[in-house]
Structure 1
Amino acid sequence: MRVYGVTGWKNAGKTGLMERLVAEITGRGFTVSTVKHAHHSVDVDQPGTDSYRHRTAGASEVLLASGQRVAIMQELRGAAEPTLDELLARLLPVDLVLIEGFKREAHPKVEAFRAEANNPLIAPENSTIRAVASDTPLELDLPVFDLNDTPAIAEFILHEVGL
């Protein structure tokens, strides 16, 4: 499966870039899935729903199905967080999986960078970053794209993964 990441520090524009890339790449006829890493506790279920009641009763896995979507919630219950490879193995086949976060993993990435966030660039210390998408001009030994030039960033990623 072809994978490519978008990484950067908090408030760097990662999620907006991911959203635009998914729309751009699917608009070109490719299928795309995403993986998003959260550093905080997250719950996509709501108290009072049947699925929430199943989970809190002790179910290890709850599969919620409707005519519009399927959601699988898996409780770790003290087990280790799955690795990125384990998470990718759970996905249905698509042309490209875009990964938000996971900056220390080995897959190739574009770094989102906003000057106003006042964070250092990750790229100089991380060889998995192949380009930077920035809201300010930068002098780097990597391609630098305007953070809002989604078509150019998408073209770069598609070329990198051979699509």
Structure 2
Amino acid sequence: MKHKEPFILGVTASSSGSGKTTLLEKLIPMLIKENLRVSVVKHGHHNFEIDYPGKDSYRLRKSGAFQTLIMNDERSALITENKGSAPSFESLIERMDKSVDVILIEGLRSSHYKKIEVFRKEHSSEKLYLTDPNIVAVLTDESFTAPIPIININDIDTLTQFIITTLEST
């Protein structure tokens, strides 16, 4: 299944600890089984390091390099020092491989892309779909009605088919 542009779909929740990462760990292999190429964007609120003190790449980056590309035969990572002026999300998406079928975004609640809300009774403070028109379905461990599809949080098969149907209709 190949489209001109990747289908971008967010997975969001009103709070951390709701199970977004666990959900994506289960969903990604299911989408791959459907012959879809999948990329993921993880939006975080805290500073992070993907390189470590003592490594040559870390030393080069810390010496002032604006960008550091780490690569081997297995993978590569481009580290850019934003220095307080973070690029727009859209400009970062533009850097991603366009040959994939789906780009899943974990977090980034404010994005304008279609999103699936993870709502768990014990972890969610509010139902985001009530105020966010970009939410197209809710994954939940509760039973309630809504004007958009409600999918049991443990039913990864139904979620996979929902995503495929949504992708095919774009």
1:127 deviates by 0.5
Which residue in the other structure is 1:81 paired with? Answer: 86
Does residue 17 of structure 1 match 2:27?
no
Residue deviations 1:114-156 (CA, integer Å, cap 9, x gap): 1111411111011100100001112211110011111111111
What secondary structure does 1:26 align onto?
helix
1:97 is displaced (CA, Å) by: 0.5
| 1:67 corresponding residue in structure 2 | 73
Match of 1:32 among 17, 35, 38: 38
How far apart are residue 158 of structure 1 and its match? 1.6
Does the 8 A contact of 2:36 with 2:102 survive in 1? yes
* Residue equivalent to 1:123: 129
Q: Cα RMSD over matched residues?
A: 1.2
Report the AA paired with residue 134 of structure 1.
Answer: T
Q: Match of 2:126, as an amino acid?
A: P
- Corresponding residue to 1:151 among 134, 154, 157: 157
The gaps in structure 2 that reach 5 residues or longer are none
For 1:92, the equivalent position in structure 2 comes to 97
Could you tell me how far apart the structure 2 residues matched to 1:39 and 1:118 are?
18
Equivalence for 2:115: 109
Structure 1 CA distance, aligned partners of 2:137 and 2:124?
19
CA distance in structure 2 between the partners assigned to 1:125 and 1:133 by the alignment: 16
User: Where does structure 1 lack aligned partners over 5 or more consecutive residues?
Assistant: none
Moved over 2 A (4+): none
Aligned equivalents of 1:61, 1:33: Cα separation in 2: 22
Match of 1:47 in 2: 53
Size of the alignment, in residue pairs? 162
Contact 2:18 2:124 in 1 (8 A): no
Match of 2:8 in 1: 3
Deviation readout 1:15-45 (Å, 9 max, x if unpaired): 1111111111012111000111101111111
Return the match for 1:57 from 63, 76, 79. Answer: 63
Query: What is the TM-score normalised by the length of structure 1?
Result: 0.94
Match of 2:77, SS state, is strand
Q: Report the Cα distance in structure 1 between the residues aligned to 2:58 and 2:147, rounded to whole angstroms.
A: 49
Deviates more, 1:88-97 or 1:112-121: 112-121
3-state SS of the aligned residue for 2:18?
coil
CA distance in 2, matches of 1:44, 1:121: 33
